[in-house]
Amino acid sequence: MTLKRIIPLALAASVFITAEAKENPLIRISTDGTEMIMTVADNGNLVHNYYGKKFKNALPYQTKKYREQPDNGAGFAPQAFPAYGGYVTISPALKLVHSDGSHTTHLKYVSHSVTQLQDDVTRTEITLNDPLYDVDLTLTFDAYGKENVITQSATLTNKEEGRLTVENLASTYLPLHADSYYLTHFHGVWATEMQLVEEQLQPGIKSVESKRGVQATQTANPAFLLSLNGPAREDHGDVYGGALAWSGNYKLTFEQDECGRMNVVGGINDFASTYYLDNGQSLTTPDMVWTFSDKGRGQVSRNLHDWIRNHSLAHPDMERPVVLNSWEGAYMNFDEKTITDMIDDAAKIGVEMFVLDDGWFGNGEYARNTDHAGLGDWQVNTEKLPRGIDYLAKHAVKNGLKFGIWIEPEMVNPKSRLAEAHPEWIVKSGDRDRLQIRQQWILDLTNPEVQDFIVKTFDDVLALSSDISYIKWDANRFVTDFGSEHLPSDRQSHFWIDYTKGLYSVYDRIRESHPDVMIQLCSSGGARLDMGALKYHDEFWTSDNTNSLDRIRIQNSTNLFYPAMATASHVSTSPNHQTGMMAPLKYRFDVAMSGRLGLELQPKHLNEKEWEFAKNAIANYKKIRPIVQFGDLYRLKNPEDGSGWASHQYVSKDGKQSVFFAYSMKYHGRTTFFQTRLKGLDPDKQYRITEINKAGWPSFYGDGQVFPGDYLMNEGISLNGGNNFDSTVLHIEEI
Ligand code: GLA
């Protein structure tokens, strides 16, 4: 299985339109249901006219009056990519200092071209330049027809004689006009990622950003929803979804200006990131991923899930296996027998992949027995594992499981042979002592030697056994006191951008030589969850918080953008190691089965009854797995709305199968009960509903019965239950 990539088709038609050939071009960037419209004003400005639902009829934009609308009241329409200069006083998408010291840039339309990249994917490139200063800016828009996604990036090229100073180069700018704007964004910290906030934006600037470099998404995520004229609803209303595909510092600004317009600028954070381009050099931004729906945020999620699965995820057609990860079950305290016993148990209970987590490497004084030593020394700990990784991997394969292993290749403990051998490879700000977080430092990925080391680490770890088919790639701290011994003193501000580009170069090389290996994206949980990194990976570790009640919220927010098939979701022990909360095994399974199911516990600690439940639940998961992993998500009850219920459904693409989940998140009293309408079914078909993962009495009155689709979608279903930790999973099949 290989990664799906976009390969420009040489045979595809290419249209090239120049300003001379056609005056005032109208540029329509269209998907099946949406479009973005830009025109060229008489003064040469590229005007952003529209992004929203696709128009059915011919457009009036060819006439000047409409072309230069919407006017902002100050006599000019919003530019498609506002550079600081002229009348631009909002936060600009571009801010340059030219080689003669001038701080202003006026961009004018030069040309655009349209290329068919794939049957359903069209690329529009628009070139602008400044008539006074020789800088070119190319805006690239890729329109994905059936997913209704448009990605945008920008490439700046310095053609001036001297050095060009780039103070800010965003990926995207979007002007919108409505009566009110509601932003859904996310905050958090370790084990509390993706905490949802929805707020009405007010005049002024709201920004969502990261300055951590690594772990850029631990405290906020570069994905958001912007709803017009009211809070985002599930199935109604105009909602934009945006996500920056960048695994470093980012900044999203939402500026409501004096005209009531919302100006959205998104891209790499300009914080301490001044970038210098010599003559002939270019800088390309990451993609901003956009989607729009006039039918609420549910459709926004489905668009993004489809786009990620079709274009931005490794092995999108492969069912993700059920995993047992050793971390919470063994931590670093294991020997060979601990692991082979876990593998034996995993095989008996139905697990398909065993992952050996942290603690298997480093020797002697640098053995990785705690987090104080060993990172960087990626040799097998011969005391713990005398027969090496190959013995364990073969043991797994012999028992019918695949085998995976944990690495954290960007990091180094001061107590390691690597730190002693290559102090110049470690991030450092001048003469300042390096700060430690989790007893570790960060390798300087701006340095090609470090990039080579990481690629070699990956190769060497895979070479430990031909039976390793999965890597968990972790990154457990963020950048403090940035600086690089590799970069010249007048280029230290290139650190943030070059680190992330270095990381992507490493990912590219690894994927080139190891296209088949599964890779999990992990950073102390969900601290590196963005569409830039995700495309190299098969899945992500959502959070180190495995407490089911917390996971309902974390997964719900995560799955607003990122699909369930990539959402690693593990059943752990009770009381939970992070929160101390106790929850029934059924509840823990019912929550984990809504993503990519796994276990994060010592199986031998399960009692007989729990063992049987777990085995049965894993078998059930395998039945519903294609619906969860490849189906459409419909949210029914929102865990954020205060009702104390969370509920959602997945529906298979052919509409014939669905799986329904409901979780009680508080005690609801004796007299209230859960009722909801189902979604995504065919009103004219009949469906059999079977409750799975039953523990004790059934919670659905109609277990095993057949219901008409229109009944289920209009009257709906009710459930027997409302205590803390009640939960229900229903398998719905067309008959
Ligand atoms: C991070 C990860 C965990 C585990 C530990 C190992 O915290 O998120 O899942 O791998 O590191 O040290």
Could you read off the pLDDT of 21-35 as tens digits, one per residue? 446 889 999 999 999
SS3 content of the chain, % helix, strand, coil (to 5): 20, 35, 45
Which one of 476, 540, 600 would you pick to mutate in the ligand 1 pocket, going by the greatest count of ligand atoms within 8 A of its CB? 476
Side-by-side strand order, sheet with 26-30: 26-30, 34-40, 46-53
What was the pLDDT predicted at 67? 74
Whether residue 470 is contained in a domain is answered as yes
Give the relative orientation of helices 448-462 and 495-513 as an angle to the nearest 10 degrees: 30
CB atoms within 10 A of CB 705: 11
H/E element, 394:
helix 388-398
**Sign of the CA dihedral with 410 first, then 416, 418, and 420 last:** positive
* Residue 723 covered by a domain: yes
| Closest C-alpha to ligand 1, atom 6 | 358
Into how many domains does the chain fold? 3
Give nearest CA residue, ligand 1 atom 12. 358
From the candidates 357, 544, 550, 590, give the one annotated as an active-site residue: 544
Strand 250-256 versus strand 261-268 pairing type = antiparallel
133 and 268 share a domain?
Answer: yes
Are both 306 and 264 inside the same structural domain? Answer: yes
Q: What is the DSSP letter of 414?
A: S
Which residue in 493, 485, 502, 479 sits closest to 424, CA to CA? Answer: 485
348 in the same domain as 306: no
Look at residues 624, 690, 635, 685 and name the one whose alpha carbon lies nearest to residue 655.
Answer: 685
Distances (CA, A) of 361 to 341, 392, 491, 549: 20, 14, 36, 34
Residue carrying structure tokens 């190299």: 536
Q: CA–CA separation, 420 vs 417, rounded Å?
A: 5
257 Cα: distance to centroid of ligand 1 (angstroms)? 43
Q: What is the domain-level CATH number for residue 680?
A: 2.60.40.1180
Q: Which domain holds residue 166?
A: 14-67+77-311
Sign of CA dihedral 48, 248, 167, 161: negative
Concerning whether 632 is annotated as a catalytic residue, the answer is no
How big is the chain, counted in residues?
Answer: 735
Give the residue, out of 408, 471, 478, 524, with the most ligand 1 atoms within 8 A of its beta carbon, to mutate for a pocket test: 524
pLDDT of residue 697: 74
Supply the pLDDT for residue 709: 98
Q: Round to whole Å and give the CA distance between 164 and 94.
A: 12
State how far Cα 588 lies from the chain centre: 24
Residue 603 DSSP label = G
> 20 pLDDT exceeds 60?
no
User: Ligand 1, atom 2: nearest CA belongs to which residue?
Assistant: 524
Buried b or exposed e, range 144-163, using 16+ CB within 10 angstroms = bbebbbbbbbbbbbbebeee
Q: How confident is the model at residue 74 (pLDDT cuts 50, 70, 90)?
A: low
What residues contact 3, with CB distance under 8 A and at least 6 apart?
Answer: 314, 315, 511, 515, 535, 536
Strand partners for 687: 707, 734
Per-residue pLDDT at 72: 60
- Pairing of β 468-473 and β 402-407: parallel
Q: Mean of the per-residue pLDDT values for the chain?
A: 95
The reply to whether 307 and 329 lie within a common domain is no
Return the ligand 1 atom nearest residue 524 CA.
8
- C-alpha 473 – ligand 1 centre gap (Å): 10
Q: Are 29 and 150 in contact (CB under 8 A)?
A: yes
Strands of 145-203, DSSP E: 149-158, 164-169, 172-177, 181-187, 195-200
| Cβ-based burial of 242 (10 A; exposed 0-12, middle 13-18, buried ≥19) | buried
C-alpha 683 to ligand 1 mean position (Å)? 46
The rounded Cα 670 to chain-centroid distance in angstroms is: 40
CB 273 within 8 A of CB 499: no
With 70 as the cut, is the pLDDT of residue 637 above it?
yes
What is the gyration radius of the CA atoms in the chain, in angstroms?
27
The answer to whether residue 419 is domain-embedded is: yes
**Percentage of the chain modeled with pLDDT above 90:** 91
Specify if 609 maps to a domain: no
Q: How far is the CA of 446 from the centre of ligand 1 (A)?
A: 25
What is the torsional sign of CA 715, 716, 720, 726? negative
pLDDT in tens, 311-344: 999 999 999 999 999 999 999 999 999 999 999 9
Indicate the DSSP class of residue 373.
B
Handedness of CA 292, 298, 302, 305 (dihedral sign): positive
Q: Token match 């974390």: residue?
A: 554
Residues 90 and 177 in one domain: yes
Q: Where are the alpha helices (DSSP H) in 583-725?
A: 585-592, 608-630, 709-714
Q: DSSP character for 426?
A: B
> Among this protein's residues, is 257 annotated catalytic?
no
The closest residue, in CA terms, to atom 7 on ligand 1 is 524
User: Residue 190's CB: how many other CB atoms inside 10 A?
Assistant: 18
Q: What is the CATH number for 258?
A: 2.70.98.60
Amino acid (one-letter) located at 116: Q
Q: From CA 25, how far away is CA 19, in angstroms rounded?
A: 7
352 with 296, same domain?
A: no
- On whether both 361 and 273 belong to a single domain, the answer is no
Compute the distance from residue 730 Cα to the ligand 1 centre, in Å: 33
Nearest to 86 by CA among 126, 124, 130, 116: 130
End-to-end CA distance of the chain: 33
Q: What sign results for the dihedral spanned by CA atoms 501, 502, 507, 510?
A: positive
CA of 655 relative to ligand 1 center, distance in Å: 38
Question: Does residue 38 belong to any structural domain of this protein?
Answer: yes
- CATH code at 429? 3.20.20.70
How many angstroms does the Cα of residue 702 sit away from the middle of ligand 1? 42
Nearest to 149 by CA among 126, 128, 169, 172: 172
Taking the C-alpha atoms of residue 545 and residue 715, their distance in angstroms, rounded to an integer, is 36
Q: Whose CA is nearest to atom 11 of ligand 1?
A: 524
Pairing of strands 441-442, 282-284: unpaired
Amino acid at position 401, single letter: L
Contact at 8 Å (CB) between 263 and 78? yes
Ligand 1 binding pocket (C-beta < 6 A) is 327, 357-358, 406, 474, 476, 522, 524-525, 541, 544
Are 286 and 244 in contact, with CB atoms under 8 Å apart?
A: yes
Task: Specify which residues 136 forms β-bridges with.
Answer: 129, 157
Answer for the pair 114, 91: CB distance below 8 angstroms, yes or no: no
Residue 114's alpha-carbon distances to 50, 71, 124, 261, in angstroms, are 19, 27, 5, 29
Residues 279 and 412 reside in one and the same domain: no
Give residue 630's identity as a one-letter amino acid code. F
* Residues 346 and 304 reside in one and the same domain: no
CA distance 3 to 40: 38
| Same domain (yes/no): 142, 268 | yes
For residue 544, the ligand 1 atom closest to its alpha carbon is 8
543 CA → ligand 1 middle, Å: 9
Phi and psi dihedrals of 426, rounded to 5?
-105, 135
Ligand 1, atom 8: closest residue by C-alpha = 524
Rounded Cα–Cα distance for residues 27 and 38 (Å):
5
8 Å CB contact between 365 and 416: no
Say how many Å lie between the CA of residue 425 and the centre of ligand 1: 23
CA-proximal residue: ligand 1, atom 3 (nearest):
524
The Cα 562–Cα 597 span in angstroms is 16
Is residue 639 a contact partner of residue 662, using CB atoms and an 8 Å limit?
Answer: no
For residue 226, what are the β-bridge partners? 183, 240
Q: Which of these three, 311, 332, 353, is where a domain ends?
A: 311
C-alpha 129 – ligand 1 centre gap (Å): 47
Give the residue, out of 325, 406, 545, with the most ligand 1 atoms within 8 A of its beta carbon, to mutate for a pocket test: 406
Give the ligand 1 atom nearest the CA of 522: 8
Q: Is the pLDDT of residue 370 over 90?
A: yes
Mutate which of 193, 406, 474, 523 for ligand 1? The one with the most ligand atoms within 8 Å of its CB, which is 474
Q: Record the tokens describing residue 541, joined without a space.
A: 């570790």
3-state secondary structure of 489: helix
Beta bridge partners of 468: 403
In a domain, 715, yes or no: yes
How far apart are alpha carbons 541 and 568 in whole angstroms?
5
Domain boundary among 517, 541, 565: 541
Amino acid at 296: G
Backbone dihedral region of 396: left (phi > 0), alpha (psi from -120 to 50 degrees) or beta? alpha
Domain boundary among 282, 311, 340: 311
Exactly one of 474, 530, 538, 550 is catalytic; which is it? 474
- CA 514 vs CA 431, 462, 468, 470: distances in Å: 39, 9, 11, 11
Most ligand 1 atoms within 8 A of CB, residue of 358, 519, 520, 569 to mutate: 358
Residue 619 in any domain: the answer is no
Nearest residue (CA) to ligand 1, atom 4: 327
For residue 652, being part of any structural domain is answered with: yes
The answer, yes or no, to whether residue 14 has pLDDT greater than 70, is no
The percentage of the chain sitting over the pLDDT mark of 70, rounded to a whole number, equals: 96
Kind of pairing between the strands at 596-600 and 567-572: parallel
| The pLDDT of residue 3 is above 70 | no
Measured from the Cα of 357, ligand 1's closest atom is 10
What are phi and psi for residue 427, nearest 5 degrees? Answer: -55, 130
CA neighbor of 214 nearest in space, from 34, 480, 4: 480
Instruction: Mark whether 348 and 383 lie in a shared domain.
Output: yes
* Closest atom of ligand 1 to CA, residue 525: 8
Q: Does residue 203 share a domain with residue 329?
A: no
